[in-house]
């Protein structure tokens, strides 16, 4: 096995380099690369570690012939084309917990700075003006803080605000009532938050749903004198509208760490009254930078060496403890999916995946992803667990999943059914002695191992058919390794699954299809 190779393309703590090397990976540190330089060297690497300066866009990803993972030392992935990476089967990971405390503390600090006009007071004082009467601040205690986003960072801001005796209301579609009670915050809709908040902070990623969430219209719904803090992402707020509301006094003060365009050499907010700005410092502490560097190195190493997935944006998580247990079932899922894909020549409009027995209690998301990768690879070529769910979704094929705790015959059973031209085709398999086995085809019981090359024959059950089939294979000098049969009933529909030692001659399928009672013959490759 070739040693995985990682490129660190942004400034990371030296501790990250040490972790990669201690885990046995090769690592190069090359920062400040131009796009053309990155495109030229990326084909040599399995992993790419970045912060925010390096921008792996669609052109870079297209050139990445062996890249398996991009790791972002930080939360935001605006600089990474996640869609292109997903289509290419590249996992994209971030480190959402390493700088959460640091960013939450910065938001609270910005709130204090805006409420007490600290930067302006500092400038006047150091200029010898002693402007004591020019600044009348506001207390934070007993005010209502509105959080837009109450996840990893927002929840920490809430905890600190409560320490200041603030009341906290939160708008977050993903915040459950139970979690809100646990945090001691009141879950509200956006209009309620806009109407009630004395102070407001944003803690949400920039998505199609959150872009311009504080539009001019929404900002005009806020209380006069609002203190607004944005340490999340530029693009969440209408900056021109904020400037006008600062000038009019409707917004009492604002403090921004992020801007729609960065680096923000110029901005409409610069010079506005009661406005505080910092240059995207939310995660800029020694502790946070060390934490995210360590985390991204561990996550990427785990993925490249063991398949464990942590904090991936485009594939399900798999812990290091889960990976060994899931590995044989993922192999089963991929082979069943491949089988289903290879016999669905006419395409399929719906896919149903069923889990029975012990497998139903495992982490099923990666198993479903593996099954879809096998299914799609038959028609789409280079598809993997990262890209498969996205490709299936974009194709409009309906996917559903069921689980049953009990399995009548096997400890674990997995079944894949595809809807082809109005009829269902189903396959089921299990793990026996650590190996994937096929146990059912089209609801017919049949037990056998998968082979690299197999013949799948669907026929009418009739005396003499198996002998004629075997004779024809012998005449074609095709050596049979395994032979497994199933049927619905005597004289009914039947299947034969035959493992063979090599690719069959090109004309053999034509002659097999010409046999009496044959409905369908297919060469399967696993």
Q: Are 209 and 172 in contact (CB under 8 A)?
A: no
Those residues whose C-beta lies under 8 Å from the C-beta of residue 386, and which sit 6 or more positions away, are 85, 86, 89, 90, 91, 314, 315, 369
**pLDDT confidence of 1, banded at 50, 70, 90?**
low
203: closest CA among 252, 155, 140, 166?
Answer: 155
Pair (120, 240) in one structural domain: yes
pLDDT (tens digit per residue) in 118-175: 999 999 999 999 999 999 999 999 999 999 999 989 999 999 999 999 999 999 998 9
Q: Is 275 helix (H, G, I), strand (E, B) or coil?
A: strand
Is pLDDT of 450 > 90? yes
Structural domains of the chain, count: 4
Among 432, 450, 468, identify where a domain stops: 450
pLDDT (tens digit per residue) in 290-348: 999 999 999 999 999 988 898 898 888 888 788 888 989 999 999 999 999 998 877 89
Q: Which of 203, 233, 364, 415 is catalytic?
A: 233
Residue 280 designated active-site: yes
Residue 237 lies in a domain: yes
**pLDDT confidence of 469, banded at 50, 70, 90?**
confident
Pair (139, 272) in one structural domain: yes
Pair (146, 13) in one structural domain: no
Those residues whose C-beta lies under 8 Å from the C-beta of residue 336, and which sit 6 or more positions away, are 371, 374, 414, 415, 416, 427, 428, 429, 436, 438
Residue 326 lies in a domain: yes
Pair (240, 379) in one structural domain: no
Pair (267, 121) in one structural domain: yes
CATH assignment of the domain containing 24: 3.40.50.720
Pair (249, 352) in one structural domain: no
Residue 163 lies in a domain: yes
Residue 312 lies in a domain: no
Pair (126, 269) in one structural domain: yes
Q: Which of 243, 280, 415, 484 is catalytic?
A: 280
Bridge partners, 369 (sequence order): none
Residue 254 lies in a domain: yes
Residue 389 lies in a domain: yes
In terms of average pLDDT, the best of 66-75, 371-380, 484-493 is: 66-75
CA dihedral 169, 171, 172, 177 (to 10 degrees): 50
Cα angle 426, 439, 419; round to 5: 5
Is pLDDT of 505 > 90? no
199: closest CA among 235, 165, 248, 151?
Answer: 165
Pair (267, 118) in one structural domain: yes
How many Å apart are CA 140 and CA 150, to the nearest integer?
19
Residue 250 designated active-site: no
pLDDT for 414 equals: 96
Q: What is the DSSP letter of 365?
A: H
Computed over every residue of the chain, the mean pLDDT equals 92
Dump the DSSP string for 167-181.
EEEEE-TT--HHHHH
How many Å apart are CA 470 and CA 270, to the nearest integer?
83
Rounded average pLDDT over 484-505: 90
CATH assignment of the domain containing 339: 3.30.1330.90
Question: How would you classify the pairing of strands 412-420 and 350-357?
Answer: antiparallel
Q: Which of 262, 322, 358, 401 is catalytic?
A: 262
Beta-strand runs (E) in 116-243: 144-148, 167-171, 186-187, 199-202, 226-230
Pair (344, 488) in one structural domain: no
Q: Are 415 and 426 in contact (CB under 8 A)?
A: yes
Q: Are 323 and 308 in contact (CB under 8 A)?
A: yes
Q: Are 348 and 426 in contact (CB under 8 A)?
A: no
Among 435, 450, 465, identify where a domain stops: 450
Pair (346, 407) in one structural domain: yes
How many Å apart are CA 81 and CA 57, to the nearest integer?
5
Among 430, 450, 470, identify where a domain stops: 450
Is pLDDT of 431 > 90? yes
Residue found by looking up tokens 């944006």 in the block: 313
Residue 262 designated active-site: yes
Residue 456 lies in a domain: yes
pLDDT (tens digit per residue) in 215-238: 999 999 999 999 999 999 999 999
How many Å apart are CA 277 and CA 275, to the nearest integer?
7
pLDDT for 320 equals: 77
Q: In which element (H, E) is residue 91 found?
A: strand 91-93
Q: In which element (H, E) is residue 523 found?
A: strand 518-525
Is pLDDT of 475 > 80? yes
In terms of C-beta density within 10 A (0-12 exposed, 13-18 middle, 19 or more buried), how is residue 127 classed? exposed
Pair (394, 493) in one structural domain: no
CATH assignment of the domain containing 513: 3.30.70.260
310: closest CA among 296, 299, 322?
Answer: 299
77: closest CA among 164, 194, 206, 173?
Answer: 206
Is pLDDT of 381 > 80? no
Share of the chain above pLDDT 90, in %: 69
Pair (517, 378) in one structural domain: no
Residue found by looking up tokens 């197999």 in the block: 454
Provide the residue range defining the domain that includes 26.
Answer: 5-96+287-306
Residue 508 lies in a domain: yes
């Amino acid at each position: 096995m070739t040693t995985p190779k990682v490129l660190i393309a942004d400034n990371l703590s030296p501790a990250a380099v040490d972790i990669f090397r201690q885990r046995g990976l090769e690592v190069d540190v090359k920062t400040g690369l131009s796009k053309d330089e990155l495109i030229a060297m990326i084909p040599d690497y399995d992993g790419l570690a970045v912060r925010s300066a390096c921008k792996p866009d669609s052109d870079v990803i297209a050139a990445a012939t062996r890249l398996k993972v991009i790791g972002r030392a930080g939360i935001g992935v605006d600089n990474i084309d996640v869609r292109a990476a997903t289509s290419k089967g590249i996992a994209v990971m971030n480190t959402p917990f390493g700088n959460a405390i640091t960013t939450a503390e910065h938001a609270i600090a910005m709130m204090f700075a805006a409420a007490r006009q600290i930067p302006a007071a500092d400038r006047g004082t150091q200029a010898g003006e002693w402007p004591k009467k020019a600044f009348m601040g506001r207390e934070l205690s007993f005010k209502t803080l509105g959080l837009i986003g109450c996840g990893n960072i927002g929840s920490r801001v809430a905890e600190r605000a409560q320490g200041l005796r603030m009341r906290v209301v939160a708008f977050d579609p993903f915040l459950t009532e139970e979690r809100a009670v646990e945090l001691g915050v009141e879950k509200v809709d956006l209009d309620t938050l806009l109407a009630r908040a004395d102070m407001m902070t944003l803690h949400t990623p920039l998505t199609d749903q959150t872009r311009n969430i504080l539009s001019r219209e929404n900002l005009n719904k806020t209380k006069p004198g609002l203190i607004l803090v944005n340490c999340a992402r530029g693009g969440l707020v209408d900056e021109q509208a904020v400037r006008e509301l600062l000038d009019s006094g409707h917004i009492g003060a604002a403090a921004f760490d992020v801007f729609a365009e960065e680096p923000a050499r110029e901005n409409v907010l610069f010079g506005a009254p009661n406005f505080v700005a910092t240059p995207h410092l939310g995660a800029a502490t020694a502790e946070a930078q060390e934490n995210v560097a360590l985390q991204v190195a561990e996550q990427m190493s785990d993925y490249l060496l063991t398949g464990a997935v942590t904090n991936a944006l485009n594939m399900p998580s798999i812990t290091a403890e889960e990976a060994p247990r899931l590995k044989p079932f993922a192999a089963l899922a991929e082979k069943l999916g491949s089988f289903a894909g290879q016999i669905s020549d006419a395409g399929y409009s719906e896919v149903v995946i069923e889990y029975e027995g012990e497998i139903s209690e495992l982490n099923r998301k990666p198993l479903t992803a593996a099954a879809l990768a096998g299914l799609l690879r038959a028609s789409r070529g280079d598809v993997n667990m990262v890209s498969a769910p996205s490709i299936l979704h974009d194709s409009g094929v309906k996917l559903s999943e069921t689980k049953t705790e009990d399995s009548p015959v096997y400890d674990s059973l997995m079944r894949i059914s595809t809807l082809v031209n109005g009829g269902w085709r189903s396959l089921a398999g299990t793990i026996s002695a650590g190996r994937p086995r096929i146990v059912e085809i089209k609801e017919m019981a049949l037990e056998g191992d998968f082979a690299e090359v197999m013949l799948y024959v669907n026929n009418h059950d009739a005396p003499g058919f198996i002998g004629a089939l075997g004779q024809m294979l012998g005449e074609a000098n095709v050596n049979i390794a395994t032979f497994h049969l199933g049927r619905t009933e005597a004289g009914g529909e039947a299947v034969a699954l035959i493992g063979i030692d090599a690719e069959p001659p090109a004309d053999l399928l034509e002659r097999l299809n010409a046999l009496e009672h044959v409905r369908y013959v297919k060469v399967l490759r696993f």
